[in-house]
Amino acid sequence: MNGISMSPQAAFLTAAAELIADDGPAAEVVQAAAELVAHLSEPPDALVTVAALPADELRAEELAPLLDTAAQSLGLPTLSPQFAVDILIQDAARKISTGLLVPYQGASKIWYLARGFDAKADRFGIFMQLMDDWESDLPGREKIEQEIRETAADFAREPVPSATEGGGDAAASHSSRDSS
């Protein structure tokens, strides 16, 4: 999924986060759930339910409550919009730092995800600054891209904050569907 080899649980969590935070495709979540079910000796019923859903007929708002139940049955935090964004930011940072995502595009994705949360916008504003620098300094782009990679690597090493560390209902108004 997404060009990165990751554990079935990480793939499921990332697909679910894409659905929650950015209206990602339900089919990817169902596929990731099915792959996770195949890897577990005793998969939770809630996960089996998600894996068996007709993905082509699902809408995100129908799938979201089922994902919370499935995530909880796996011992994962509730997939709030803020927690989903945290997962996607770390995924983008990991992709930038490993060369799977072009630095400018990755910085843009991180900023796009973070900008709807004041605390995240402050914390990840460095990516906006680096994007501005990249756009205005043609001869210095290679150096700026390296700085984006290094900054992303720092963020990729950090654990994803749990849903209780600054997550929660205040994040529910976030929508990354608007264009920047």
What would the pLDDT profile of 108-142 be if each residue is shown by its tens digit? 999 999 888 887 888 899 999 999 999 999 999 99
Same domain, 67 and 97: no
- The answer to whether 44 and 73 are in contact (CB under 8 A) is yes
Do the domain assignments include residue 171?
no
Same domain, 89 and 153: yes
Nearest to 68 by CA among 116, 29, 24, 25: 29
Same domain, 69 and 86: no
Decide if pLDDT at 146 tops 90: yes
Tally of domains within the chain: 2
Of the chain, the percentage scoring pLDDT greater than 90 comes to 54
Expressed as residue numbers, the domain containing 47 is 8-73
Do the domain assignments include residue 169?
no
Same domain, 85 and 58: no
- Whether pTM > 0.85 for this model: the answer is no
Measured at the CA of 56, the angle between CA 108 and CA 53, to 5 degrees, comes to 105
The better pLDDT of the pair 132, 173 is held by 132
In the DSSP assignment, the letter for residue 101 is S
Do the domain assignments include residue 180?
no
The pLDDT, as a whole number, for residue 5 is 65
The better pLDDT of the pair 135, 163 is held by 135
The better pLDDT of the pair 94, 160 is held by 94
Same domain, 86 and 150: yes
Do the domain assignments include residue 28?
yes
Decide if pLDDT at 178 tops 70: no
Do the domain assignments include residue 177?
no
